Structure 1
Amino acid sequence: MTTAYTLNNKKSQIGDVDSSNSTGPFAYGSGHVDPERAADPGLIYNIAAEDYLKYLCSLNYTSDEIALFAGGHFTCPKNTAIRAGDLNYPSFAVNFRGGVQNGSLEYKRTVTNVGTPTTSYALQVEVPNGVSVIVKP
């Protein structure tokens, strides 16, 4: 996800063959896979299969349905609600239902450097008008 590219061979945004509408991340996902960059991503966002299974519990999948993904029996933990934004992904989307004013959300991400130990990285945030983002650290 962090090493994919979103421009085509003409240096234009990836297009949607089935539509004349402009595209965006909800149309093409993370972009095209770049195998060389994927082999040496620099930073990774660790996530375990159990995290996905717990998320399915939050979506009210039954134990039998989750067992199909788990490859065997899986019991959902009690009182655990995981939102999509809680999964350790390099991106997330926020739904502003009903024009929420002055609302706030907090998301946490954990990254691991698997690249050169002394490398520094720059954060990129795309923020829509009327929204502010604070990143710590």
Structure 2
Amino acid sequence: MTHFNEQGRARMVDISGKEITVRTGVAITKVSMLPSTLLAIKEGRVGKGDVLAVAQVAGIQAAKRTSDWIPMCHPLPLTGVNIIFSDNGEDELYIEASVKTEGKTGVEMEALTCASAAALTIYDMCKALQKDMVIGPTLLKSKTGGKSGDYNLGV
């Protein structure tokens, strides 16, 4: 396996010989909450400010800093990060994070980190209203580019 050195210890994979391709990663997650909490977010009545605006910035920052959090991730020059929020009109807030680069390794971890940070920020900003919100599941929806080809979860 390429993730271990000759002593069987973890290492960062050498990607120097890989081809540069356009790569995308899309991750999804959700935050389940009381209808009153979701309504407060949508109506801008959360005391800490505009929840979705702050979560948007947090997710983008997290995507850019993924290699600081995940030890074997390569620092990547991202060419785009976007987050789309939607809800079920009742008690679930959905987050879809899309990340793009032109590089030698994929952006799946950046997309997952982006979605997770946005969800955690929503929790942080709304915890005074509700402490039992539930985050997840968080999963990779799709990826493109690279030797392993494209992946699509189909949701």
Same fold (TM over 0.5): no
With structure 1 as the length reference, what TM-score do the two structures score? 0.26
Greater C-alpha Rg: 1
Instruction: Say which structure, 1 or 2, has more relative contact order (CA 8 Å, 6+ apart).
Output: 2
Structure (1/2) with the larger strand percentage: 2
Structure (1/2) with the larger helix percentage: 2
With structure 2 as the length reference, what TM-score do the two structures score? 0.24
